[in-house]
Structure 1
Amino acid sequence: MRTCIGCRKRELAVELLRVVAVGNVDGAGNRSSTVTVDLARKLPGRGAWLHPTPHCLDAAIRRRAFGRALRITGSPDVSAVVEHVSAVNSAEAPEPPGNRTGSEEHEHTVKSR
């Protein structure tokens, strides 16, 4: 069981998106953190969990939950997470079973002679 940093509800890990902070150092030596999505759930470091919905993402940004959960200072760059969540939610939903044609439904039952 993991807790979403946006809505604070506990869910199974398979229903949540894991994010991790990746440290960056620019040319001037300034350190900043970028929050990235860990689809394989194997990146090293401290991770945080989030429902892949705009509601939970907005709540996490508003509450500054990324910095707190990942234990980083300053405001991290969460643009990669925003892009991923918007891509997941803009993807087309699968067609309901009633919209299939008859040839597709019975395709596996036809025997070749």
Structure 2
Amino acid sequence: MADRRRQHDDAEPAVDGHGGERLCAATREALSPDHLIRFVADPSGDIVPDLARRLPGRGVWVKADKAVLERAVKANVFAKSLKRHVKADPALPERVEHLLEKRVLEALALANKAGLVTAGFQQVDELLEGGTTAVLVQASDAADGGRERLQRKYAAVARARGKEASLVTSLSTEQLSLAMGRSNVVHAALIQGGAAERFYDEAERLRRYRSGIGASDRPESARELKV
């Protein structure tokens, strides 16, 4: 019901005949909501991100791409779409990036609490051997040697089983350690589960936002998230 209400309230309604796609207010592309970010104006007229798509009021959808959002802020796209005076903070793109990163870390913490995460080089290496890894996570500041060894092994095991390798390298050792409540987490792996899928989805959205590149635009066979 909430989604149906937003179809009436949003400044950029669903695109007819495109499976629920919406128009980006900045680029006018018809995109899946998963590739867009919804924004609303708060009572004071300030534009705020609605990453969970639950806030009331007319929404403005903008492609989940930091560069596109920067242009949208400069061009006053929100006021044009809502047809009234609203304020978009120049720091909005950075705020969105911080919120997206926070969601990734929260999703990792939830997956860890659900018992889906294994950490440590040797432990991850053994898990990869069994072919049950859904997502390989490596710190952005990990040493090249160990990182490349695990990546090659994961890619080979996934390929042999006809699966697609999912790799996340967007978080630092400090961030991984804080999210998992333990020290010096450099390598981790998630087994299949709803919490693991949510973590990957959030990490993918952060990657797209930072890079502006969608999964279908990347030439790699592995879904590598270097952001």
- Give the structure-1-normalised TM-score: 0.64
Q: CA RMSD in A?
A: 3.1
1:23 match: secondary structure: coil
Identity level (%): 28
In 2, distance between residues paired with 1:80 and 1:17? 16
1:21 is aligned to 2:41: yes
Any gaps of 5 or more consecutive residues in structure 2? 1-20, 105-121, 133-227
Distance in 1, matches of 2:77 and 2:46, equals 14
Equivalent position of 2:125 in the other structure: 102
| Aligned pairs, number | 93
Greater RCO, CA 8 A, separation 6+: 1
What secondary structure, in the 3-state scheme, does the structure 1 residue paired with 2:52 have? Answer: coil
User: Cα deviations across residues 24-80 of structure 1 (Å, max 9, x unaligned)?
Assistant: 2xxxxxxxx11111122121110000122222112212321011112321x513357
Is residue 51 of structure 1 aligned with residue 63 of structure 2? Answer: yes
SS of alignment partner, residue 55 of structure 2: coil
Q: 1:2 to 1:48 in 2, by over 3 A?
A: same
Q: Distance in 2 between matches of 1:83 and 1:22?
A: 19
Q: Which runs of 4+ in 1 moved over 6 A?
A: none
Task: Tell me if 1:68 matches 2:80.
Answer: yes
- Tell me if the contact between 2:76 and 2:88 (Cα under 8 Å) persists in the aligned partners: no
Q: Tell whether the 8 Å contact from 2:39 to 2:47 is kept in structure 1 after alignment.
A: yes
Contact 1:48 1:66 (8 Å CA) reproduced:
yes
Return 5+ residue gaps in structure 1 as ranges: 25-32, 92-99
Instruction: Give the Cα separation in 2 of the matches to 1:53 and 1:84.
Output: 13
In the alignment, structure 1 residue 8 sits paired with structure 2 residue 28: yes
Deviation at 1:107, TM superposition (A): 5.3
Asked if the contact 1:35/1:80 (under 8 Å) is kept, the reply is no
